[in-house]
Structure 1
Amino acid sequence: MNLDNNRTARAIGLVYSACCYVVFLITCLYLIGFVGNVAVPKNINDGPLVAWPVAALINCALILLFGVQHTVMARTGFKQWLAAIIPTSVERSSYVLLSSLVLVLMFWLWQPMTFTVWKVETTWAKALLIGLFWLGWGIALLATFLIDHFELFGLKQVIDRWRKPTPQAPVFRTPLLYKIVRHPLYLGFLIAFWATPYMTSGHLLFAIGMTVYVFIGASFEEKDLVRLFGERYRRYQQEVSMILPWSKTRKKDPE
């Protein structure tokens, strides 16, 4: 059954993508609680303790699995291969679903490592770090809406396929935060992962591992964006920092 051409099948695709999006929302909310030790059954410091080398090995494997899944499935070659198996309209939703399931696996199997790296007791400093934590998630959420939240998470594709709009070429835009850094979504994640008044060795391992993934994943994504937008994106790279908002000198055109 071809989900892109059959009306009933397109409706199934729409329901499928909506379910993937709901799974993503629940998983994302749990991720916030997991990292921030907020209102979830198991957070990053919860669970039975095992020997720290075993815990570190398991946790590193989980981070590696997440990074490989995200990086491989986001590549153009993999998308072309996947298009031969599933309709292109649900490709992004499938990516979102699998990413969510990998995170669920991480929540389930993550091993606590409770050695205290730092613990901030001062009221104002603790409040500042908690505020930065929520600011990071706010930046990440805002970044998704500045581009196209529902396209990023797979809903727009199936809705467009249902309506059968005229296909449009991608448009290069740099709204608001994208004038400061090229990947504000990743910047928001980094702030959220590192800003905590209570940093354990397990949380530190998570923050380091996800930071490494963010920079590696962004580098691969940059190559895809250069192929898509060409010289326009290369100029953008010269003018705006990738993730960290360091100032860059704008290159002047030769007179």
Structure 2
Amino acid sequence: MKRLPTLLACSLLASATVSAAGRGTSSTFRYKPTGDDERPVVVDATIGPQGSDFAMRLKFDKLPFGEECKQRCANVTLFLDTDSSPQSGLHLATKGPENGADLAVVIQGVREYKRQDAPPVLMLRVKVRQLGTDASSTDGGELLADLNNRQDPERIQTDGTTVYLLVDATSALLPSARKVRVVYHPPGGKAVQATIPGMLGSGSGRGVQIFKHGSGNWGRAPDADPKKPRTPAAGDNG
């Protein structure tokens, strides 16, 4: 497999828009934690189209789930304005960079209790919601996917503090354009924004190859067993 060429990393201030060069077209942003963050936060992100998905490599400042963070594990939301237009998507009561977002990707470290006499199952859970013009909050959108790293390895993989994620962008109602605006708003911090190629952009079919295979090699996610039983994850860390 080919290695992913070095990506240009940029530190973004609030409302800054950048482009980063790498294999295909991608965007990388970095965020410096304030030191007051109780939960793990994203400190480095690479996001870009990969086929019909948005591929993400998200590096946290500490483990996003597990015993180390206990009840204060990751609870992060990334917003994608898939047509870079404020006319569609989320409409908050207050003006903010999240307005116009068409997708909300919520990443949580959770604890699922299967039996009272057994320890909890620790996992990373990802909810993807599509936000229409009638959505006034993240919870107001349509749930497109409810995934976790145990049952959906073709979509989610973890490696220490790094999370690899593929978000399906094939919804017929999801707006598409040549550019996508990405918004990450850390708790208590200023919003970080970046512009990446959209599904209608040139070269979007090649995209970034975000999943890791072996030592230092990069490629697509492994195939999942289509007959594997699928049950929804339950419980979270609040």
* TM-score, scaled relative to structure 1: 0.25
User: Which has the larger strand fraction?
Assistant: 2
